[in-house]
Amino acid sequence: MLWRRRKKTGAEFLVVGLGNPGEEYRQTPHNLGYMTIDRLAEDEGIRVTRPEENALVGLGAIGGKSVVLAKPLSFMNLSGGPVKGLLRRYDLTLDRLLIVYDDLDLPWETLRIKLKGSSAGHNGMKSIIGSLGSSDFARLRIGIHPGRRLASGADFLLRPLRREQLDEADAIVNRAAGFVRRLLAKGAEKAMADCNRRARGQQTEEQ
C-alpha cells in the first residue's frame, strides 16, 4: 500500500526534520531537526506552513531540485505516520527521502550522513523504520552529546539550550542545512563522503 500511485506533484525529494511541536520544545536539543528545516526554509524562501499528513510542509526549490520540506506534528516518537503519509502523497520512493534528527550517540557539533541502518535506539527513527518497513533511506544525524555524564538522557533532550549554547546551535544548524543542500545537489554518497570527516577525539572515521 505504501507505494500505491498518486497523482504527480513534481516533487523530487522529501526532507523531514524531526522534533516536537510546541513553544516549550522549540530550543531544545531534541528539536535540531526542526531547526534545520526552519533554516533551509528561511534561506530558500520556502514557507513551511501547510498542514498535510499531520505535518507542516512547504514546497520549493533547493539547488535546482523540487523539494518538500516537512516537520511532523505527531511528536518525535510517532514520526513514522506523517513520513509514510507524505511519501505516499508525493509519490516518492525511499531513495528520495532524507531524515534530519538529533543523535545523543554523537558528540555535540558532530554531523554524520548515513544511507541506511538501524534506529540505534532513537525513538523517532524507530517509528519511521517501523512505519516504512525499511531502514534503507538517508539520514543526517546531528550530534548533541555534551561530553559529560548525563543523569537522564530524556531530561537533557527536552531541556532548553543554555544561552551560551544557542550560538553554537545556530552554527550547527547552518552546517546541517549546508549538507542537506550538498546532498540534493551532489547525491547522497558524495555528500556522505564530504560530511563524515573524523570527529574531534575519534581515532577512525565512521563508515
Active site residues: 30
CA 206, CA 138: separation in Å to the nearest integer? Answer: 15
- Look up the CATH architecture of domain 13-195: 3-Layer(aba) Sandwich (3.40)
pLDDT of residue 162: 85
Q: Is residue 199 pLDDT above 50, yes or no? A: no
Query: Of 23-27, 130-134, 146-150, 198-202, which range is least confident?
Result: 198-202
The amino acid present at 85, given as its one-letter code, is: G
- Pairs from 189-195 (Cβ < 8 Å, separation ≥ 24): 189/115, 191/113, 192/113, 192/114, 192/115, 195/111, 195/112, 195/113, 195/140
Task: Decide: 53 and 89 in contact? Cβ < 8 Å.
Answer: yes
Q: Which cell numbers in the block locate residue 112?
A: 554524520
Task: Tell me the domain boundaries of the chain.
Answer: 13-195
Could you give the C-alpha distances from 109 to 39, 88, 129, 135, in angstroms and in order? Answer: 16, 33, 25, 25
Task: Decide: 103 and 199 in contact? Cβ < 8 Å.
Answer: no
Q: Is residue 165 pLDDT above 80, yes or no? A: yes
Which of 196, 155, 180 lies closest to 35 in space, CA to CA?
A: 180
Mean pLDDT of 190-200: 75
Which of 57, 146, 133 lies closest to 106 in space, CA to CA?
A: 146
pTM for this structure?
0.89
Q: Which cell numbers in the block locate residue 88?
A: 505516499
Mean pLDDT of 27-51: 96
